[in-house]
Structure 1
């Protein structure tokens, strides 16, 4: 008779994980899949925020100062158009700096670009919200189904009910609720943080573009400047 090889650390963890998934049943499998999707979305959004750095605003004061002095070219040279706020500010400066600017067209273009960039920042936040909402509900559903099975077993046992069997069924049922909450809590936190970040970017867009209009140099037509200020 051969001797079974001892399990390594990774094999032991994998075995425990398989047992955990089997005890939890289909609900835990679904929650695990949802957690993987949520993690992928969170990492993707974090990478997007790192690349674009949409809230970076330390250089905007200098840009607006140059623009107010009539140095449009120097102001544009500082801007990084890969950032949404910089892009809108650049469009504002270019539009206001043109001798024959069209107020209505500039307003529409700023609205279009702002909406597009904010939608890009909000992309995939809705699936994250759905996962955060459904996870605890699925966990509760798994608990209810597990409790039904546990009480069915207790009814079948009649007068010879084994408390250990009943308690085992109950903790297995409660396991799905714990998993659902474990998935939902960090997802809710990350979703709210990202939503708030997008709101701050939108506010920064509005503030920066409005200041570009109100600090336009004297060379810009006064009547057009007053009218276009509402585009922000």
Structure 2
């Protein structure tokens, strides 16, 4: 029998043995609530952080959508009012229906009659101000994504302290069962910290990228809307 066949038979036999051993092994039935309880106060705190993270993520997906920042129907209405030179009505519309688009647009409308540079500056300043405010909303997700693993690490340190105190109390004669509590806390808090941090980081990155793209798109729409007040464009329209 050649070497490749012997190797294949050996691997098959090992796989069969491992499968049988795994099937015969008894894995304790552990529920999520029991794991949280075993993690102690750190586990409950991390669960609280996960609930806050989920709430912020859902709120971000709802309030930071492109259609929320710049409703298409509002853009069409403002565009129509601009085409008819009804700037006062456009201003009132922006005040009545606040959004990222209407706030930036309203800042520009309020400066109509001044030099184009004044209008442009007002639009840019309001755009920057609103953009910062929107980024602050998702900034809490970044904070949670950083705090959660640190809390998990703190729980890990606490669990190891408990394990070493057990060793000290038994003068180095502690059994694995006696060390299990501290080690369990150390591992569970690390796991829960990562379980909170990983999806929170992903949600933050997704919302941030979408927000940046939406802000750029809305900025381009507003810029195009006020382009008619640029001196060269105004002369062409006449």
TMscore range, shorter length: 0.5 to 0.7
Distance 1:82 1:143, change over 3 A: same
Task: Classify 1:105/1:224 alpha carbon distance in 2 versus 1 (closer, same or farther; 3 Å).
Answer: farther
8 Å contact kept, 1:55–1:204: no
| Alignment correspondent of 2:62 | 47
Runs of 4+ in 1 over 6 A off after TM superposition: 55-67
Q: CA deviation at 1:40?
A: 2.5
Structure 1's 126 and 113: CA in aligned 2 closer, same or farther, altered over 3 A? same
Where does residue 119 of structure 2 map in the other structure? 106
Q: What secondary structure, in the 3-state scheme, does the structure 2 residue paired with 1:210 have?
A: helix
Using the alignment, how far apart are the partners of 2:99 and 2:174 within structure 1?
66
2:16 maps to which residue?
none
Q: 1:152 to 1:213 in 2, by over 3 A?
A: same
Q: Provide Cα deviations, 1:54-75, integer angstroms capped at 9, x if missing partner.
A: 36679979987997xx5556xx
Q: CA offsets per residue over residues 18-68 of structure 1, 9 Å max, x none?
A: x4343212222222222222222223223313595336679979987997x
- Aligned residues between the structures: 201
Give the superposition deviation at 1:135.
0.6
Three-state SS of the structure 2 residue aligned to 1:34 is: helix
Structure 2: state its 5+ residue gaps. 1-30
Structure number with greater Rg is 2
Determine the structure 1 residue equivalent to 2:42.
27
Does the aligned pair in 1 maintain the 2:149–2:197 contact within 8 Å? yes
Is 1:84 the equivalent of 2:93? no
Query: Greater relative contact order: 1 or 2 (C-alpha under 8 angstroms, separation 6 or more)?
Result: 1
Q: Which residue of 2 aligns with 1:10?
A: none
RMSD: 3.9
Indicate yes or no: 2:204 matched with 1:188. no
- Say yes or no: does 1:145 pair with 2:158: yes
Residue segments in structure 1 that go unaligned for 5+ positions in a row: 1-14, 227-232
| Cα separation, 1, equivalents of 2:55 and 2:230 | 50
Whether the aligned pair in 2 keeps the contact of 1:52 and 1:82 (CA below 8 Å) is no
Deviates more, 1:169-178 or 1:38-47: 38-47
Structure (1/2) with the larger helix percentage: 2
Structure 2 length normalisation: TM-score? 0.64
